[in-house]
């Protein structure tokens, strides 16, 4: 082999290696941003123990049924937006107001908070997350170990 042929082969090999490296880098950069986003887990969402002290409050959704009225509320505390459940009326003294959070959009609660309606008519709040699939709902239940699917009064997911 002459020096000239060896130089051409070395250059060709170097060019091929650079092209493969560029393809790998380009491929990695082409991954959609949604694929790179980590799933939200309950521990990622801050807790607001007493949402009664929140400002800029509003009602996201309301449901009235045979056991009373349940709502999902939202408001701001310390510059962070939170959501929680509350009842404005309940028909039985042994009811619980429950707040459920679905963090992955499958329609099943991944975390929840509840209170006896007679002790406090609202639950603990959780920081709201605007990621795909994160939703909130409230309900009135006789047994807080059940999810809101079993409730006679439940809001839709918000």
Helix (H, G, I), strand (E, B) or coil at 120: coil
So what CATH class is 42-154?
A: mainly beta
Q: Are 139 and 155 in contact (CB under 8 A)?
A: yes
Full-model pTM: 0.75
pLDDT tens by residue, 120-158 = 999 999 999 878 889 999 999 999 999 999 999 999 999
d(CA 3, CA 40): 60
Domain-by-domain residue ranges, the chain?
3-30, 42-154
Tokens read off for 136: 């909130």
Pair 126, 101: CB distance under 8 Å: yes
Residues 32-74 have pLDDT tens digits of 333 334 578 999 999 999 999 999 999 999 999 999 999 999 9
CB 144 within 8 A of CB 157: no
CA of 109: how far to CAs of 6, 134, 149, in Å? Answer: 66, 10, 10
Cα 23 to Cα 26, 58, 113, distances in angstroms: 5, 50, 49
Percentage with pLDDT > 90 across the chain: 71
Q: How confident is the model at residue 13 (pLDDT cuts 50, 70, 90)?
A: very low
């Amino acid at each position: 082999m002459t020096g000239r042929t060896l130089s051409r082969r070395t250059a060709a090999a170097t060019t091929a290696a650079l092209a493969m490296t560029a393809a790998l880098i380009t491929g990695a950069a082409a991954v959609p941003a949604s694929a790179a986003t980590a799933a939200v887990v309950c521990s990622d969402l801050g807790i607001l123990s007493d949402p009664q002290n929140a400002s800029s409050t509003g009602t996201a959704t309301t449901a009235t049924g045979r056991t009373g009225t349940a709502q999902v509320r939202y408001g701001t505390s310390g510059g962070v937006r939170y959501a929680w459940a509350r009842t404005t009326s309940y028909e039985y003294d042994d009811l619980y107001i429950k707040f459920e959070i679905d963090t992955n959009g499958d329609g099943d609660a991944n975390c929840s908070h509840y209170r006896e309606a007679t002790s406090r008519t609202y639950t603990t709040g959780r920081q709201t997350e605007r990621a795909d699939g994160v939703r909130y709902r409230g309900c009135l239940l006789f047994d807080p170990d059940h999810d809101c699917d079993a409730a006679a009064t439940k809001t839709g997911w918000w």
